[in-house]
Structure 1
Amino acid sequence: MGVPQLYYFTIRGFGEYIRLLFIDNGIKFEDIRYVYGSPEWDEHKKSMIFGQMPTLKHDGKEYAQTGAIMRHLARVHDLNGSSEDDATFLDMFFEGVRDSRMKYVMYIYMDQGTREELTQKTLPTCLANFEKLFKIHQGKFIIGDKPSYADYILFEELDAYTHLDATILDKTPSLKAFWEMMWQRPNLKPYLEKRKADGVWINAIEKGMK
């Protein structure tokens, strides 16, 4: 089998969930990044399924859409829980975090609402719901003591939100402990520290970075 190729922009964005999954689980992949608006990207997107990224290519097959890619990798690499109930719970958690991300995106790119509204009301409401869901299962991950594909979107979103407000996780102790634990994962820590040192943008615009 060949090495999977992940195509995304030079930012974190939606592609970061997939990168984190690969890195944390020691899965080799090619991290192919394009500068947004570059001639190279404008040309390459013509050949992609929806003309957008992230896109995953592996063994002659192409996969598009973030959720579809994440769930594909979850099934292939045993990151989808151990039962139908687990898989459904993870799907629910994943989609809930995606909804939260879209509220964040509307502020970042569309100037919808204010930073104060987002960090004092909108995101804390989402985080309180995630905190309740997170505590349903025993263990340090969303489900037990084994990571799932949904843990990577949750971690990346929590990390992004701390760039808006460093104290935003203080009222959700389970989520904060999870976020801190993920930062110390042996495979993730070097990558995360380099990402921080390099100042990799979360979004295609600087808004939302400290």
Structure 2
Amino acid sequence: MTIPQLHYFSIRGYGEYIRLLFIDNAIEFKEKNFVPFSAEWGQIKDSMIFGQMPCLKIDGQELVQTGTIMRHLARKHNLNGSNEQEATFLDMFFEGVRDVRQKYFSYINDLGETRDELVNSTIPASLEKLEALFNTHPGDYIIGDKPNYADYILFEELDVYNVLDKGILVKFPALKAFHERMWNRPNLKGYLEKRAADKIWINAVEKGMN
């Protein structure tokens, strides 16, 4: 089996979900990172399947689309629940979190609401729904007592919103405890501390960065 190679930008972005999954599960991988808007990225953009990243090169395949990559890794590494019902629940949770990210993305690119609207209304309304969904299963994670692939997108998005407003998780105790639990996982803690110290940008634009 070849070592997977993740192609993405030198930011957190959508590629961060994949990195977190690899790191937390001690899966060896390599990275090829590009500076956003750089000439180097412009030169290879058209060679990508849809002209975008993340792209994961693994076992002779070239995979694109974040959800596709995450679900592929979930099936491959037993991170997709224990049955079809759990896999479908994780899929639903994953897509729900991605919907919230799109609202944040619109704000970052000046296509949607103001910061006050996002922090005080839009994101809390979405977190309320996610908290209720999270609480439908017992355990420390979305399903049970071990992370599955959707836990990595949930953690990263909660961390992004925590950067926007340090108090945004206070009214959502289950999600707040989950965020803290993920942050302190042995394989993640050192990486996350270094990420914060290095001030890795969340986005390709300054708005909302660390």
Aligned to 2:208: 208
Partner of 2:183: 183
TM-score norm. by structure 2 comes to 0.98
Deviation digits for residues 66-94 of structure 1 (CA, Å, limit 9, x no counterpart): 00000000000000000111001001000
* Structure 1 segments unaligned to the other structure (5+ residues): none
TM-score, structure 1 normalization = 0.98
Q: Which amino acid in the other structure matches residue 52 of structure 2?
A: Q
Alignment of 1:1-210 (within 5 A): 1-210=1-210
CA distance in 2: counterparts of 1:41 and 1:11, whole angstroms: 14
CA distance, structure 2, for counterparts of residue 110 and residue 80 of structure 1: 35
Percent same amino acid at aligned positions? 65
1:127 alignment partner, SS class: helix
Q: CA deviation at 1:111?
A: 4.3
Q: For the residues of structure 2 that align with 1:120 and 1:9, how far apart are their CA atoms?
A: 30
Structure 2 gap segments, 5+ residues each: none
Cα deviation for residue 121 of structure 1 reads 0.4
Aligned letter for 1:196? A
Question: Could you tell me how far apart the structure 2 residues matched to 1:63 and 1:23 are?
Answer: 19
Aligned-partner Cα distance in 1 for 2:168–2:140: 20
Root-mean-square deviation (Å): 0.8
Structure 2 CA distance for aligned equivalents of residues 90 and 59 of structure 1:
25
* Length, aligned pairs only: 210
Secondary structure of 1:32's counterpart equals strand
Between 30-39 and 70-79, report the one with greater CA deviation. 30-39
Q: Which ranges of 4 or more aligned residues in structure 1 deviate by more than 3 Å?
A: none
